[in-house]
């Protein structure tokens, strides 16, 4: 037996361990310090009442022989797949059939597993900085990664790859930068993929945060995208499902991969929890939509508070308008860990150092609007006093 040496020799998930270690060391030295955590990437508001009610009903169904549900379809129940099409796609003029929509236990699994559709020799391109799992999943599969720098100087619109990119992970609204692409900017990527026979894995986990009218909500708003793009969505950041575990992935027929993905899922996945699928369905009711909208608006209000507060403090910030993340350039040319330490020691604030999202994140830190609003207000005050 030979181990997967790519996986075997990977570093641990250094970023969050290091954040925890530095924060704990500070807390140990200053036990009375009120440390404010503004790095958190997890939602904090409870589930909406229509979702809770739907989950209770689903649990009750599982308690009786006549309504009990065992294995569901590996691709998810059709009532949920049709509901998604009716609400997330048809109103935007995008035609899909339920056979092209696959319910998942969240974007995290699919973003990694989708690479199984491709030969190992494919070259993978990722934005730099980016959500670390794209690079990690690619590395553990023994594939090469091309980094596409994304920074203030190019307006967070990365240049097209110079060498052939077979698979391209795009995430917009972006984590960690909070930035977006316009329709025209996204069209450039779709055109590239069509010309070079590439596939775009489009991570739209933060779609619900889009407020600007010129920003596409789905890559399928772009001409030709159905031939070259798989779209991965999640209810985690829209409806607070990080502990519920439900999302979905669209694999259009035009990609030629729909049957392959179904075969993969039927072999290596036994379907999403029934209770989670009923919870997801409830998001699309009028009451569900209203409740989810209120949560998003709340988080966006917090994002605005952080964004404007940092600007008032003289810092250069990006994102936070169509995304829950604010990407902040470090002052005075500080490194991102250096600014992390300054924030921790001078302001008792924990952020996320940009370098943790790839070399291109150096010189930035990420603040999250999922943090309690009162903490954000205090944090801004402390930064203004110390900077």
**Binding positions for a copy of itself, 213-242, rule CB under 8 A:** 236, 240, 242
Here the contacts of 7-12 (C-beta below 8 Å, separation 24 or greater) are 7/140, 10/136, 10/139, 10/140
Among 88-96, 261-269, 291-299, 330-338, the segment contacting a copy of itself (CB under 8 A): 261-269
Residue 108 or 361 with smaller CB distance to a copy of itself: 108
CB of 234 to a copy of itself, least distance (A): 9
Among 143, 245, 307, 348, binds a copy of itself (CB under 8 A): 245
Task: Indicate whether 149 belongs to the interface with a copy of itself (CB under 8 A).
Answer: no
CB of 67 to a copy of itself, least distance (A): 8
Task: Indicate whether 160 belongs to the interface with a copy of itself (CB under 8 A).
Answer: no
The CB-side HSE value for 249 (13 A sphere, CA atoms) comes to 28
Q: How far is residue 354's CA from residue 316's CA, in Å, rounded to a whole number?
A: 14
Among 140, 152, 160, 334, binds a copy of itself (CB under 8 A): 140
Q: What are phi and psi of 246, to 5 degrees?
A: -160, 135
Among 24, 30, 33, 68, binds a copy of itself (CB under 8 A): 68
Q: How far is residue 170's CA from residue 192's CA, in Å, rounded to a whole number?
A: 13
Residue 118 or 147 with smaller CB distance to a copy of itself: 118
What are the C-alpha distances in Å from 272 to residues 104, 204, 211, 248, 326? 6, 19, 30, 10, 32
Binding map of a copy of itself across residues 46-65, x = CB under 8 A, - = no contact = xx-x--x--xx--xx-xxxx
Token pair for residue 295? 């949560």
Q: Applying CB under 8 A, what is the total number of residues that bind a copy of itself?
A: 79
Task: Indicate whether 301 belongs to the interface with a copy of itself (CB under 8 A).
Answer: no
Among 76, 158, 271, 320, binds a copy of itself (CB under 8 A): 271
Q: Residue 348 pairs with which residues in a beta bridge?
A: none
Binding map of a copy of itself across residues 96-125, x = CB under 8 A, - = no contact = ---------xx-xx-xxx--xxxxxxx---
Among 41-49, 182-190, 319-327, 347-355, the segment contacting a copy of itself (CB under 8 A): 41-49
CB of 29 to a copy of itself, least distance (A): 27
Residue 65 or 91 with smaller CB distance to a copy of itself: 65
Among 7, 20, 33, 144, binds a copy of itself (CB under 8 A): 7
Q: How far is residue 201's CA from residue 113's CA, in Å, rounded to a whole number?
A: 11
Contact 357, 147 (CB under 8 A): no
Residue 264 or 289 with smaller CB distance to a copy of itself: 264
Among 247, 366, 352, 238, which residue's Cα sits nearest to residue 299? Answer: 238
Residue 183 or 195 with smaller CB distance to a copy of itself: 195
> Which positions ≥6 away from 195 have C-beta within 8 Å?
none
Among 202, 274, 327, 342, binds a copy of itself (CB under 8 A): 274
Go through 298-336 and write b for each residue having 16 or more CB atoms within 10 A of its CB, e for each that does not. Answer: ebbebbebbbebbeebebebbbbbbbbbbbbbbeeeeeb
Region at 243 (left for phi over 0; alpha for psi -120 to 50; beta for the rest): alpha
Among 35, 257, 334, 387, binds a copy of itself (CB under 8 A): 257
Token pair for residue 179? 């930035």
């Amino acid at each position: 037996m030979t181990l997967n040496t790519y996986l075997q020799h990977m570093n641990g998930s250094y970023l969050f361990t290091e954040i925890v270690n530095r924060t704990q060391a500070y807390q140990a030295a200053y036990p009375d310090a009120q440390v404010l955590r503004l790095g958190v990437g997890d939602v904090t508001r409870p589930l909406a009442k229509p979702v809770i009610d739907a989950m209770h009903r689903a649990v009750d169904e599982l308690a009786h022989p006549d309504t009990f549900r065992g294995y569901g379809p590996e691709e998810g129940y059709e009532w949920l797949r049709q509901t998604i099409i009716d609400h997330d796609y048809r109103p935007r003029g995008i035609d899909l059939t339920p056979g092209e929509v696959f319910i998942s236990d969240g974007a995290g699994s699919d973003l990694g597993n989708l690479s199984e559709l491709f030969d190992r020799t494919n070259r993978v391109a990722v934005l730099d900085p980016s959500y670390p799992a794209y690079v990690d999943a690619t590395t553990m599969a023994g594939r090469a990664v091309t980094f596409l720098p994304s920074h203030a100087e190019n307006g967070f619109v990365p240049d097209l790859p110079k060498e052939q990119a077979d698979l391209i992970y795009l995430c917009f609204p972006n984590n960690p930068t909070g930035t977006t692409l316009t329709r025209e900017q996204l069209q450039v990527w779709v055109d590239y993929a069509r010309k070079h026979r590439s596939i775009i894995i489009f991570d739209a986990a933060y779609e619900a945060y889009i407020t600007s009218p010129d920003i596409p909500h789905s890559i399928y708003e772009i001409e030709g995208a159905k031939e070259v793009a798989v779209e991965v969505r999640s209810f985690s950041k829209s409806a607070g499902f990080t502990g519920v575990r439900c999302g979905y992935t669209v694999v259009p027929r035009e990609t030629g991969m729909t049957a392959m993905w179904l075969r993969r899922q039927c072999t290596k996945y036994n379907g999403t929890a029934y209770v989670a699928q009923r919870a997801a369905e409830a998001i699309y009711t009028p009451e569900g939509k209203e409740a989810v909208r209120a949560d998003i608006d709340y988080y966006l209000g917090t994002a605005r508070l952080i964004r404007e507060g940092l600007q008032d403090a003289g810092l250069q910030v990006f994102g936070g308008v169509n995304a829950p993340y604010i990407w902040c350039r470090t002052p005075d040319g500080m490194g991102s860990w250096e600014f992390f330490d300054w924030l921790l020691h001078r302001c008792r604030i924990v952020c996320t150092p940009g370098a943790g999202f790839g070399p291109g994140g150096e010189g930035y830190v990420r603040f999250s609007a999922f943090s309690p609003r009162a903490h954000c207000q205090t944090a801004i005050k402390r930064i203004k006093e110390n900077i």
